[in-house]
Structure 1
Amino acid sequence: MDISPTLIGFIGFGILLVFLAFRMTIGYGMLALGFVGFLIVAGWNDALGLLQNVPFHTMFDYDMAILPLFVVMGFFCYYSGISEDLYYTVHRWIGQIRGGMAMATVGACAGFAAVSGSGMATAATMATVALPEMRKYGYADSLATGCIAAGGTIGSLIPPSIAMIIYCVITEQSVGTMFIAGFIPGIM
């Protein structure tokens, strides 16, 4: 009996949802599902060989080794106070104009994203720095959190970006070329 690849995908997604319903973490659920799927398709020897080699090759890949270092750099910036200084610097530049605090928040998020490479780390860090300041100046919570969330998404455009690195690893493109290509759109 031939099963279409689409049906196999739906069955796998359904099994993953069952794993999640039983409170299994997503990583382990996908690992088990992928292993069993590859076991059915290729057999025991290939499945065990894949399980033996792929985690170590992925862990020691140079492009993937960069990712935790960007997150660590973001933590260093947060705990050293550089993120607060960045926020206040941008606020001094454009904070005097109408809506300047909101623009300063987005600008500081862009600057921090350029350092950390992570949109989520940017949003989390700038929420602790910018949200109290915006509340102090009378900004609504909806506008303040919207500015922080929008500024956090800029992190995927500004090099060095974790999303760009993952894209380059998956598509086997040059990380340096992608960073050069993302520089101008990230600044704009």
Structure 2
Amino acid sequence: MTVYQSIPSAGVLEAFAPGFTHTSVTRRFGVMQRALGAWIEAERDLEHSGSWDPACDHWLRDAEAARAAVGAALDALCDTPAERLEDRPLLRIARLTRALALSEDGAEFAQLYARLATSGALLRCPGRHPLALRVNLMLSEARRALAQLAALPDHAQIIEGNCVEIVPEDLAIAETACTVASDAYPPVMQAAPGV
């Protein structure tokens, strides 16, 4: 005796959902994240050094080299074209990170940092498929790194004076508030012509 069982079409389509694969943007984003982390650590080392002490000059040189590496990584990332829709939010946060890294004015830095919280939908990848989940994880790590950058003594007083709260542990709560509940991406990801 043969038993027939119907398989709902939604279950079949889920099996063919694309997994995460790297693009040029995601690879360069990882390079930028590592360079940003090294720069933040170098800046933290400077916090505890005596600027008058010549023995601490190497920390200053390390911080300058780390900042230059972040700049080069951001330039390479921002010049990379988007290959799929999920690359767009990564490029947007990279441009914001570059503006923050290049900012030498405290008020400008505070305004740029405030954009990180207000443009949540632009800095998120909608959907619950593996590509969106992985990109959103990368974006949350970038936000955490930017919160650490803003918490450095050079920026923290200015940010606090402009009433922008910096609490890296609370980023997950803020990100869920900014989540766009949309599965609007087509099943087959197409190349994104522009960002």
Compute the TM-score of the two structures, normalised by the length of structure 2.
Answer: 0.30
Q: Report which of the two has the higher share of helix.
A: 1
Greater Rg over alpha carbons, structure: 1
Higher RCO (CA-CA < 8 Å; seq separation 6+)? 2
